[in-house]
Structure 1
Amino acid sequence: MTSAPARPFALVTGASSGMGAAFARALAARGYDLCLTARRLDRLERLAEDLAAAHGIEAFAVAADLGAFEAEGPILAAIAARGRRVDLLVNNAGFSIPQSFAATPWLRQRDFLMTLVVAPCALAHAVIPGMVERGHGRIINVASLAGFAPGAAGHSLYPGAKSLMIKFSQALDAEYRAKGLSVTAVCPGFTRTEFAQANATQHLMDEAPRLFWQSAETVVETALRANDLGRVVVIPGWHNRLAAALLQHLPQGLVAAAVRRGSAKYHLGD
């Protein structure tokens, strides 16, 4: 008598709320076992329990601050201790800093880079060899429409970090597609999550026209479908695709001026 094949296994970062929690719910519905990681262990454990009960999958939580040095180590150790290997990695954890660059303590800026750049690259570096060995694997990097935009006052490192995630995804696709990996950068615009609450810009975001907002669930489904199809860069929503096209193809001086005017209200100054 042979045992049933193991369910696929996914690691989702920033899974305690917003898009990360939406990824966890969507993947559980697809039959994935899950490792959920973020800083808020209580939220993670409740979500893991709910998903296990609703979908008959295994889900467990690992509290981690991805801004810490080598934060990926305990996460990967917890997965290995359960005898699992990552089939799908969702690099979702992130935040932004609306204040001016030098007005923000360097440790906070460093935590930003560790969370949005170093940790995603470290996790991908750790799981890719096993994916290549098995001949299949998936990586979804949550980038942003901001990755196509020039820098502006406030959120100083955010466009650069998200642009790196786009280029990183393209590079991984070029290196590993033939070895069975599907890599996607999803680039959402305004999305209904707790993101703006965390950086104290919710009152400003609330002024944006409702037409331009999408739900986290819509963004997640778009990302998963794109990854299924092997699409490397996906921009959810026609309005965001139009904005990305304008950002890339209009004269850059005009784009920079427009972005500076439009983003000024989201800059909380010094």
Structure 2
Amino acid sequence: MTTLITGASSGLGAEMARQLAARGEDLALCARRADRLEELRAELLAAHPDRRVEVRTLDVTDHDAVFAVVRDFADTLGRIDRVVVNAGLGKGAPLGTGRFDANRDTAMTNFVAALAQVEAAMEVFRGQGGGHLVMVSSMSAMRGMPKSMTTYGATKAGVAHLVEGLRAEFYGTSGYDFTVLYPGYIASEMNAGVAAAENRMMVPTEKGVAAMVAAIEKKKDSACVPALPWTPLSVVMKHAPLPVYRRMI
């Protein structure tokens, strides 16, 4: 099994690489920071010398480069069995407060660049007759979010729908699998400013990613991760009256 992970140089992506390598998978890892990728590659090969780990530098907002890198991985490795669209950006501002630049960057990285990654992955999968596409969305996709989270949540809802659309298109077609992950509060570089003491629902990176990897390996259609408390909370988030929902967030 060969898995390609974008945004793999740190945080959830790097930990996914560690846990998938431990499960015996070969890896294609890409991110912007070449030095961090090389450090991760060395770490993985030291722990699992029989694994194959290929790395490429990639800024996912360079759409031509996305296609070039994914095609290069496929040519080099012979096949890509799974692509995890993980690269993302967490910045944002309340709409109408003069920070269109921040919201635009988040939209371009989290949706448009994700679209490029999905297009590149599906090009490979269609060519080889199958594959497993995994989208890292967010619990913020469950319902419109206020203030600085508005654009971020909208992008995460959008990318989830990309994969849902593909699942509908390929329903009944053997060899194709589609998974959407909805992580809750999992410690990572993106949320490093939020201390665990300030958010009691924050779980360590290793524990949160273990739940993500378990859902990936089971090829679940969708999964809130970790399942507790996020699966029941997803129902509340979707259906609570607005005054209740507003107090929750």
Which of 192, 198, 217 aligns to 1:207? It is 198
Shift of 1:93: 1.0
Name the SS of the counterpart of 1:141 in structure 2: strand
Which of 245, 260, 263 aligns to 2:235? It is 245
Name the SS of the counterpart of 2:179 in structure 1: strand
Kindly provide the CA deviation profile for residues 188-227 of structure 1, in whole angstroms up to 9, marking residues without a partner as x.
Answer: 1111111123xxx436x64112xx1223333333233323
Aligned-residue CA RMSD in angstroms? 2.3
Aligned residues with identical type, % of pairs: 28
Which of 171, 175, 184 aligns to 1:180? It is 175
The equivalent of 1:15 in structure 2 is: 8
Aligned 1:210-225 pairs, distance under 5 A = 212-225=201-214
Kindly provide the CA deviation profile for residues 89-146 of structure 1, in whole angstroms up to 9, marking residues without a partner as x.
Answer: 0111112124334556545433322321122222222222432454431111111111
Give distance in 1, aligned partners of 2:95 and 2:105: 13
Q: Specify whether residues 70 and 140 from structure 1 end up closer, same or farther in structure 2 by C-alpha distance, changes over 3 A only.
A: same
CA contact (8 A) 1:91 1:140 kept: yes
Kindly provide the CA deviation profile for residues 7-45 of structure 1, in whole angstroms up to 9, marking residues without a partner as x.
Answer: x32211111111000111122122222221111111111
Name the SS of the counterpart of 1:23 in structure 2: helix
Q: Specify whether residues 194 and 121 from structure 1 end up closer, same or farther in structure 2 by C-alpha distance, changes over 3 A only.
A: same
Aligned 1:223-262 pairs, distance under 5 A = 223-236=212-225, 237-251=227-241, 253-259=242-248, 262=249
Query: Normalising by the residue count of structure 2, what TM-score does the alignment of the two structures yield?
Result: 0.87
The equivalent of 2:23 in structure 1 is: 30
CA contact (8 A) 2:142 2:234 kept: yes
Give distance in 2, aligned partners of 1:53 and 1:240: 35
Give the residue type in structure 2 aligned to 1:186.
L
Give distance in 1, aligned partners of 2:82 and 2:70: 13
Aligned 1:92-171 pairs, distance under 5 A = 92-103=86-97, 106-171=100-165
Q: Specify whether residues 207 and 163 from structure 1 end up closer, same or farther in structure 2 by C-alpha distance, changes over 3 A only.
A: same
Q: Specify whether residues 254 and 155 from structure 1 end up closer, same or farther in structure 2 by C-alpha distance, changes over 3 A only.
A: same
Query: Normalising by the residue count of structure 1, what TM-score does the alignment of the two structures yield?
Result: 0.81
Name the SS of the counterpart of 2:159 in structure 1: helix
Give distance in 2, aligned partners of 1:123 and 1:89: 9
Which of 68, 86, 91 aligns to 2:80? It is 86
The equivalent of 1:3 in structure 2 is: none
CA contact (8 A) 2:94 2:149 kept: yes
Point out the more displaced range, 34-43 or 128-137. Answer: 128-137
Give distance in 2, aligned partners of 1:64 and 1:111: 17
CA contact (8 A) 2:179 2:216 kept: yes
Larger Rg belongs to? 1
Kindly provide the CA deviation profile for residues 42-64 of structure 1, in whole angstroms up to 9, marking residues without a partner as x.
Answer: 11111012212322212122222
Give distance in 2, aligned partners of 1:104 and 1:86: 42
CA contact (8 A) 1:183 1:232 kept: yes
Count of residue pairs brought into register by the alignment: 246
